A and B are shown apart, each in its own frame.
Chain A
Amino acid sequence: MTDETTSRSPAVAPAGFARKYRGLSDRAVAWLFIGPSIFLLLAINIFPLIWTIRLSLTNYRANRTNADVDWVGLRNYERILTDPDIWNSMQATAHFLIWTLVLQVLIGFGLAYLINKKFKGNDLWTTIIVLPMMLSPAVVGNFWTFLYQPQIGLFNYVVAFLSGVDPSSFSMIGDVNLAPWAIVIVDTWMWTPFVMLICLAGLRSIPDSIYEAAECDRASRWRQFWTITVPMTLPFLMLAVLFRGIENFKMFDLVVQLTGGGPGSITELTSINLKREAFEKWRTGYASAYAVILFVTVFGLASIYVKALNKVKER
């Protein structure tokens, strides 16, 4: 037993001292160490996922435990994919996802580029910029409702001060046209530093010698930026987009506290919509099918994206 394990892992334990072991074999230790983690993940992640899939094929309602549960096959899925409300949520999510990614990538990369100029005190200012990202999104969403108050809110006041409009004439979270932007602004304020940090790591990974060589070849600064800086930070940037994309697809806490999905259902992102179906209307089976569709979508998009990312890395 012991011999078998060691011969399977020559890099770790040369066969020589295998016989000196007292106590458990490596394999036993390995399973003893990994087992509890895998068990917990199975119990709290995988088992519920399988249960969700099972529930999605029924008309079960969690608030009526005594009612008969019928198998409805794929009917829940069919109803979801033809439900206009859900397509509205998908649209709201797409708007939120696309604009937050665009803004965060542009501002985040810009900031990283500037910070990489290594001016004095850049560490301090970087730390300050990073603060919002570490805070609780729900609490952040809640206090931004205060900043967005018409008239008394700081945001309205600053906008009014800069543009000359009346600060009580617009309400960021009460107006159908402005609310989708209200959530984009807060998310961008909160998460741009994340993209910035990753871009900064990318910029710092480019060796100086490449720029020196380019300088010798008389490449212009502009050309250096597009042929060295951008392509070499691209894998990092794409990684940042992946992380932010997954997170914002799942977005719940920040927006639910900020607008609650309103006004009407204009900022009702898929997770908020799902929560209403599952825990307010108690259509458990239907909501489970919805959850499965969301999970498959995010997993599918992420896998395609990771393939693209790997291609860029190989280049």
Chain B
Amino acid sequence: MSFSVTEPSRLQKSVAGALVVIYALVTIMPLAWIIATGFKSPNDAIAYPPKVVFEPTLEGYVNLFTTRTRMSPDALEEIGQPETWYDKIVRQYDMVISGPSRYGERFLNSVIIGFGSTFLSVFLGTLAAYAFSRFKVPLKDDLMFFILSTRMMPPIAVAIPIFLMFRQLGLSDTHLGMILLYTAVNLSLSVWLLKGFIDEIPVEYEEAALIDGYTRFQAFYKVVLPQATTGIASTAIFCLIFAWNEYAFAVLLTSGTAQTAPPFIPTIIGVGKDWPAVAAGTTLFLVPVMVFTILLRKHLLRGITFGAVRK
């Protein structure tokens, strides 16, 4: 290794490394704790001192996905022995599974609304970003700023008229309503990010295609789109994560059919203080995002700063 004044010394590196590792370990402790709690029995979950070593059980997950009723010993005898592993877990408490819980539905709603709004905002965003990048649009800077400024509004501030508007149009508590709403919220991010990505694709390719007799549309989807795939994909994942995590609109505008998981998860706790079930629901909901984050780490910065910081 050649000598360089800017290369940190070995000592500096190990001290820096040690401090960062300590911070990272402290930071993931709460997450690790929640994931572990999902596999504890309710008694282990509230044990003092907190249990680090415990016997893992799927009780939390069973409770998360089912509703259960307590039965008298006579009634239990009549039913006979539990047949499946999840029946056995529930039977320890003299209970039987009476049906599925709502968690599955809420999770599915999150998936439908998340993917639906992501598709729409990326689709509209790509078109708009292409136009802003390639054409002389009157008042371009003003329009771009207008698009950005829609993100500054507190969600609760526009929630009142949106609530009234959705009530009028019959969009309250529907998937379509939530998809349109999240699309509008995500559009600003998608236009800004994609414009940055498309700006980086040289115009010469399209010009060549146009000279070869392509129309604008053909040049757009045969020349520009294939080159913007990475940008489109990372924009899509950021839109998806936003829609997945959103709570304020979801809690105000949905209550049943279209309710997503974030407003639902806190209600799992119920009266029984079933922490393992809450932890299980939280884990299932958060882990996909953690996986995406790890996959996306290279594009992270650009996505979370609206493209303001590039690498």
Rounded to whole Å, the gap between the CB of A164 and the closest CB of chain B is 14
Q: Which of B29-37, B70-78, B85-93, B228-236 contacts A (4 or more CB under 8 A)?
A: B29-37
Rounded to whole Å, the gap between the CB of A310 and the closest CB of chain B is 13
On whether the beta carbons of B211 and A20 are closer than 8 Å, the reply is: yes
- Ranked nearest first, the 3 interchain pairs of A and B with the lowest CB-CB distance are A119-B17, A138-B247, A291-B157
Number of A-B contacts (CB under 8 A): 307
On whether the beta carbons of B143 and A38 are closer than 8 Å, the reply is: yes
On whether the beta carbons of A253 and B265 are closer than 8 Å, the reply is: no
On whether the beta carbons of B31 and A138 are closer than 8 Å, the reply is: no
**Known interface pairs A20-B213, A129-B27, A246-B152; A288-B160 also in contact (CB < 8 Å):** yes
Chain B positions 13-30 with a Cβ under 8 Å from a chain A Cβ: 13-14, 16-17, 19-21, 23-24, 27-30
Residue in contact with A271 in the complex, picked from B156, B163, B282, B292, CB distance below 8 Å: B156
> Quick check: is B137 within 8 A (CB to CB) of the other chain?
yes
> Quick check: is A106 within 8 A (CB to CB) of the other chain?
no
> Quick check: is A51 within 8 A (CB to CB) of the other chain?
yes
Q: Mark A107-139, 1 if CB is under 8 A from B, else 0.
A: 000010011011111110111111111111111
**Known interface pairs A37-B187, A139-B282; A45-B150 also in contact (CB < 8 Å):** yes
On whether the beta carbons of B289 and A250 are closer than 8 Å, the reply is: no
Task: Give complex CA distance A33, B125 in Å.
Answer: 9
On whether the beta carbons of B265 and A139 are closer than 8 Å, the reply is: yes
Task: Give complex CA distance A274, B146 in Å.
Answer: 25
> Quick check: is B244 within 8 A (CB to CB) of the other chain?
yes
Rounded to whole Å, the gap between the CB of B303 and the closest CB of chain A is 10
Task: Give complex CA distance A291, B210 in Å.
Answer: 49
On whether the beta carbons of B293 and A44 are closer than 8 Å, the reply is: no
Q: Mark B274-294, 1 if CB is under 8 A from A, else 0.
A: 010011001001100110111
- Supply 11 A–B pairs (Cβ within 8 Å), ascending by A: A8-B136, A20-B213, A33-B127, A43-B184, A44-B181, A119-B13, A128-B27, A134-B292, A143-B278, A144-B30, A201-B311
> Quick check: is A13 within 8 A (CB to CB) of the other chain?
yes
> Quick check: is A12 within 8 A (CB to CB) of the other chain?
yes
Q: Mark B238-253, 1 if CB is under 8 A from A, else 0.
A: 0001001111100110
Which of B27, B164, B266 lies at the interface centre, i.e. has the most chain A CB atoms within 10 A of its CB?
A: B27
**Known interface pairs A51-B161, A211-B6, A215-B5; A34-B247 also in contact (CB < 8 Å):** no
On whether the beta carbons of B187 and A41 are closer than 8 Å, the reply is: yes
**Known interface pairs A13-B207, A135-B289, A294-B157; A157-B50 also in contact (CB < 8 Å):** yes
> Quick check: is A23 within 8 A (CB to CB) of the other chain?
yes
On whether the beta carbons of A44 and B135 are closer than 8 Å, the reply is: no
On whether the beta carbons of A143 and B311 are closer than 8 Å, the reply is: no
New contact pairs (5) apart from A45-B153, A157-B50, CB-CB < 8 Å: A12-B134, A22-B213, A131-B31, A134-B290, A278-B159
Set of chain A residues within 8 Å of B292, measured between Cβ atoms: 134
Q: Which residues of chain B have a CB within 8 Å of any CB of chain A?
A: 4-6, 8, 12-14, 16-17, 19-21, 23-24, 27-31, 33-34, 37, 45-50, 124-125, 127-128, 130-132, 134-137, 143, 146-147, 149-150, 152-165, 180-181, 183-185, 187-188, 191, 203, 207, 210-211, 213, 215-217, 241, 244-248, 251-252, 261-263, 265-266, 275, 278-279, 282, 285-286, 289-290, 292-294, 297, 300-301, 304-305, 308-309, 311
Task: Give complex CA distance A52, B160 in Å.
Answer: 7
By secondary structure, the A interface counts as helix
> Quick check: is A252 within 8 A (CB to CB) of the other chain?
yes
Q: Mark A181-220, 1 if CB is under 8 A from B, else 0.
A: 0000000010001100110010010001001100100000
**Known interface pairs A55-B161, A125-B20; A138-B262 also in contact (CB < 8 Å):** yes
Residue in contact with B135 in the complex, picked from A27, A137, A204, A250, CB distance below 8 Å: A27
How many chain A residues touch B (CB < 8 A): the figure is: 107
On whether the beta carbons of B5 and A253 are closer than 8 Å, the reply is: no
Residue in contact with A12 in the complex, picked from B23, B135, B247, CB distance below 8 Å: B135
> Quick check: is A257 within 8 A (CB to CB) of the other chain?
yes
Residue in contact with B127 in the complex, picked from A34, A41, A201, CB distance below 8 Å: A34
On whether the beta carbons of B160 and A34 are closer than 8 Å, the reply is: no
> Quick check: is A298 within 8 A (CB to CB) of the other chain?
yes
Rounded to whole Å, the gap between the CB of B182 and the closest CB of chain A is 10
Set of chain A residues within 8 Å of B211, measured between Cβ atoms: 17, 20
Which of A40, A115, A197 lies at the interface centre, i.e. has the most chain B CB atoms within 10 A of its CB?
A: A40
On whether the beta carbons of A298 and B5 are closer than 8 Å, the reply is: no
On whether the beta carbons of B309 and A48 are closer than 8 Å, the reply is: no
> Quick check: is A287 within 8 A (CB to CB) of the other chain?
yes
Task: Give complex CA distance A201, B125 in Å.
Answer: 26
Residue of A nearest to B163 (CB): A62
Set of chain A residues within 8 Å of B154, measured between Cβ atoms: 249-250, 252, 271, 274, 291, 294-295, 298
On whether the beta carbons of B215 and A131 are closer than 8 Å, the reply is: no
On whether the beta carbons of B301 and A132 are closer than 8 Å, the reply is: no
Residue of A nearest to B266 (CB): A142
On whether the beta carbons of A151 and B301 are closer than 8 Å, the reply is: no
Task: Give complex CA distance A279, B152 in Å.
Answer: 21
Chain A positions 239-272 with a Cβ under 8 Å from a chain B Cβ: 239, 243, 246, 249-250, 252-253, 257, 271
Task: Give complex CA distance A25, B187 in Å.
Answer: 25
Task: Give complex CA distance A252, B294 in Å.
Answer: 27
On whether the beta carbons of B217 and A33 are closer than 8 Å, the reply is: no
Set of chain B residues within 8 Å of A194, measured between Cβ atoms: 304
